Structure formats: C-alpha cells, structure tokens
Amino acid sequence: MSRTTLHVGLALCLAALTSSDVAAQRKGFIIGFGAGPGLTTGGVDSKIGATLSLKLGGMASETVQLYVTSKANFFSEDGALVLAGVHGLGVTQQWPSGFNINGAIGVATWIDFDWSTYAGFGAGVGVGYEFTDNWVIDLGGQWGRREDLNVFNIALTINWMSF
C-alpha cells in the first residue's frame, strides 16, 4: 500500500469523524449482518466466493457508528474451504441522503480449513447506500498480509442493520 493511498484513507476517516451532517435520529446499540459476492486476490490467482459480514456496536452520535466488525470471503482453493478477511474495529459515517463511508482496522486472517492459519495486520474501506430503512448495499475493499503476500478482497454485500 502506497503512502498516498494511506494518506487518502486517513483523510477520509478524519472527514467522516468530523462531519456535522445530521442523519436520522439513531441512537444506541446496532447489529448488522450482510452477504454477497466477493473476490480475493493475492499473487497470481483470484478466487470468487461468498462474503459474509457482521457489525456489533453502537451509535457514537446521530451520524457515526462505532463497532466490532468481521468481514470475510469464503472460497475453495485446491479442494479446501478458505476464509480470507479482516476482523477488528470499524467506523461508519452516514449522511441524510442515505450514503455512507466506512473503514476498519484489525487482524487479517487467511484460514484454510485443512488447518493452515495465517494472521497479520489488515484494513478495509468501503462506501454504502441505505436504499430503504435498515437495508444497506455496501461496496468495500480489504487489504491484509498472508506471510509475505498482499491479499486483497473486494465485496458487494447487502446488509440488514438494526439501529
């Protein structure tokens, strides 16, 4: 990841946290589940799979969500089921228009269900749109390390959020 990309990501997160736009009157506990198609790439192979996501946290203000998140792509590699994702702390800034930006930082995992596991630093960013009450479509990307290899996930998920 280049420094320019990192700086742009940090600037977007800062803008999200300092925005004064007011969304719907949402407060308290949140929980969200999502699913959709995903693509994992690292090295020469790209794998298409199913992405699942989870958010559990609360509204820090009327427009900012803080939560623990887990988002991973499941796919088959050499006959084994693999999970590649990022699990950690997330933040979402939402606007009255229904659009949002989100980010996460935490542990990137690569788990082959034939008992090989790799973990390292990971991060993710995304954009979303609440197209009807409690339903959000999200396009996101994640980056993580698997040994000496960069792994990227891209996913389009439909999420149900309880506010």
Render pLDDT for 100-139 as a digit per residue (tens, 0 to 9): 999 999 999 999 887 788 999 999 999 999 999 999 999 9
Judge contact between 125 and 106, C-beta under 8 A: no
What integer is the mean pLDDT of 40-45?
80
Average pLDDT, rounded, for the chain: 86
Share above pLDDT 70 across residues of the chain, in percent, rounded to a whole number:
83
Which domains, and CATH codes, for the chain?
3-162 (2.40.160.20)
- Cα dihedral sign for 46, 85, 57, 8? negative
pTM confidence score: 0.80
